[in-house]
Amino acid sequence: MGDRPAGGAMADFLGGVPRHCHSCGTTLTAALVLGRRLFLAHVGDSRAYLLHDGLLEQLTTDHSYVQRLQETGQLSPLEAAAHPQRNVLYRAVGQ
């Protein structure tokens, strides 16, 4: 690729990606344990949980349209579970 501008390299990359995927992203949840400390990085609707004393505790909140509707009181958890747009993200890696 040499001294090509970044835009040219990106255009080459996107040339091999189906057009409907040009605005796609992915989700990510990563954990780093240093000693007794836990550091989390999170985007999208992948989740991190903590297992403690036999119980699972969700540590992250989805970055999804339906999660936002729940947070604002517009949907109940039961309604959210069956919502047709439950996988629509407002934050993802690559966007």
Range scoring the smallest mean pLDDT among 22-31, 51-60, 67-76:
22-31
Structure confidence at residue 5 (pLDDT) = 60
Q: Pick the residue with more confidence: 44 or 16?
A: 44
22: Cβ contacts below 8 Å, ≥ 6 apart: 14
Q: Identify whether the C-beta of residue 31 lies closer than 8 Å to the C-beta of residue 38.
A: yes
Q: Is the pTM of this model over 0.85?
A: no
At 1, the pLDDT band (50, 70, 90 cuts) reads: very low
39: Cβ contacts below 8 Å, ≥ 6 apart: 31, 32, 33
